[in-house]
Amino acid sequence: MKLFKKLVIAVPALAFLAGVAQAGDVKVGSAGGVTGPIAELVAAIMKGRQLAADHINADGGLLRGDMLKLVIADSACDPKAAVDAGNKLVNVEQVVAIVGPSCSGATNGMVSSVTIPAGVTVLSDSATAPSISDLKDNDTVFRASASDAYQGAAIAALVYKAGLRRVAMTYSNDDYNAGIANVFEREFSKMGGTITANQAHEPNKASYRSEMATLSQGGPEALALFAYYGSSGITIIKNSLENGLFDKFYAADGMFDVSVIQQIGADNLRDRLWITQAASDTGDMSYQRFADTYKSAGGNPEAPYAAHGYDVTFLMAMAIEKAGSADRNKISAALREVASPPGEVIRPNQWKRAKQLINAGRDVNYQGAAGVNDFDANGDVTGLFSLNTVGPDGKWSRTMLK
């Protein structure tokens, strides 16, 4: 290894030709909404990604001992910003592959304009819009979180089981929220429920009082709210409560954040707000291995998609190791090989074992902190969901949905 480093330093042009800025680095893009409507949520995801990279680098690194370098690019939960971020990662930084982006609209924008044409493999930890399943991507777009085709149905079942039959709904006009709203409407109607009113709304308005007044007509028993907490969700709940328009709210994980409680108040939300969220089986060995190290690094392992952030980075590293080189063209097939049975099970923080088995030509199967990653033909996985409500202590209380 010492000799290898001396040779690379002596011939820096070789690093340039390989698209690696610094000798000994294998660059993987880390795209996410570092700024934008869910920046706090994304910070926990980024921490999960970096923790996985730290484990890999501490236990032998990639290939011949190269370091995994995550190159961060801000996709801002915005399709246009995501295209710029993708161009930076693919064409300037020359990354091998990309983990992220975090939002569905940003993912659709980046992959359609940049990564699919370039043949670069993308593995998102939190982009969940059903539309991603239908991309003509040459098997280069994957995700470790379940499609909202599952979550939308879970929310519809939750509302119906609560005895509610008449519900109004509103959604922010973006890929993620529109996608899950469409699934909710279809599934709730199939169960026999009635959508009394359905209205898209634009994000970042100062007030939604008039929209909520319109939606409250027709006798709805609750509001199904599909929005990001930081762009419209908090304001909509505030306007509804302050004006006596709605007092029950059902939402998806774009609304899950401590700021919802902080800005609206625990007493105002208790027994009034129900939020579903992609979740992990906390009793599973893989989750526990992740959670222990994530806590030690100062994070909350139950933060939304933090475990998924760890998994996508670890999986992408395994794919690079399986490919045997930092060759973009080999990553997609290698990713499928390391993610699914058959093979010896690899769990979080077991990089040394993973590397040894892969280099010995053995089959491996990563069992992640967030669950299994058995990709289907569309690069999708199934998943678990939790129900989050405000508990007696004024904090989020979580139960797993069956």
What is the domain partition of the chain in residue ranges? 2-146+283-372, 149-278+384-400
Residue 241 to residue 216: CA distance in whole angstroms: 12
Q: For the packed helices 39-58 and 285-296, what is the interaxial angle rounded to 10 degrees? A: 100
Q: In the chain, pLDDT over 90 holds for what percent of residues?
A: 92
Element spanning 344, H or E? strand 344-346
| Prediction pTM value | 0.88
Task: Kindly tell me if the per-residue pLDDT of 14 is higher than 50.
Answer: no
Mean pLDDT of 208-230: 97
Mean pLDDT of 381-391: 94
pLDDT at 10: 34
Q: In the chain, pLDDT over 70 holds for what percent of residues?
A: 94
pLDDT at 24: 85
Task: Kindly tell me if the per-residue pLDDT of 5 is higher than 90.
Answer: no
Contact 126, 109 (CB under 8 A): no
Domains 2-146+283-372 and 149-278+384-400 share a fold: yes
Contact 247, 267 (CB under 8 A): no
Residue 309 to residue 81: CA distance in whole angstroms: 20
pLDDT at 29: 98
Of 220, 274, 207, which Cα lies nearest the Cα of 246? 220
List Cα–Cα distances, 167 to 147, 221, 250, 270, in angstroms: 23, 6, 10, 19
Domain 149-278+384-400 sits in CATH at 3.40.50.2300
Mean pLDDT of 349-365: 98
Of 48, 40, 28, which Cα lies nearest the Cα of 89? 28
Sign for the pseudo-dihedral over CA of 390, 392, 396, 401: negative
Task: Kindly tell me if the per-residue pLDDT of 150 is higher than 80.
Answer: yes
Mean pLDDT of 340-357: 97
Task: Kindly tell me if the per-residue pLDDT of 6 is higher than 90.
Answer: no
Question: How many residues are listed for the chain in this entry?
Answer: 402
Residue 317 to residue 323: CA distance in whole angstroms: 10
Order of strands across the sheet that contains 122-124: 67-74, 25-32, 98-99, 122-124, 141-143
For domain 2-146+283-372, which architecture applies?
Answer: 3-Layer(aba) Sandwich (3.40)
Mean pLDDT over each residue of the chain, to the nearest integer: 93
Task: Kindly tell me if the per-residue pLDDT of 155 is higher than 90.
Answer: yes
Place of tokens 């289907």: 376
Contact 122, 157 (CB under 8 A): no
**pLDDT-based confidence at 1, cuts 50/70/90?**
very low
Of 296, 323, 294, 324, which Cα lies nearest the Cα of 309? 294
Mean pLDDT of 37-63: 97
pLDDT at 88: 98
pLDDT at 107: 98
Task: Kindly tell me if the per-residue pLDDT of 22 is higher than 70.
Answer: no
pLDDT at 383: 86
pLDDT at 402: 76
> Which residues, 6 or more positions from 332, have their beta carbon under 8 angstroms from its beta carbon?
121, 138, 139, 140
pLDDT at 36: 95
Contact 345, 365 (CB under 8 A): yes
Contact 290, 301 (CB under 8 A): yes
pLDDT at 8: 35
Mean pLDDT of 125-130: 96
* Residue 196 CA from chain centroid, whole number: 31
Residue 386 to residue 380: CA distance in whole angstroms: 19
pLDDT at 326: 96
- Give the pLDDT confidence of 229-247 residue by residue, as tens digits: 999 999 999 999 999 999 9
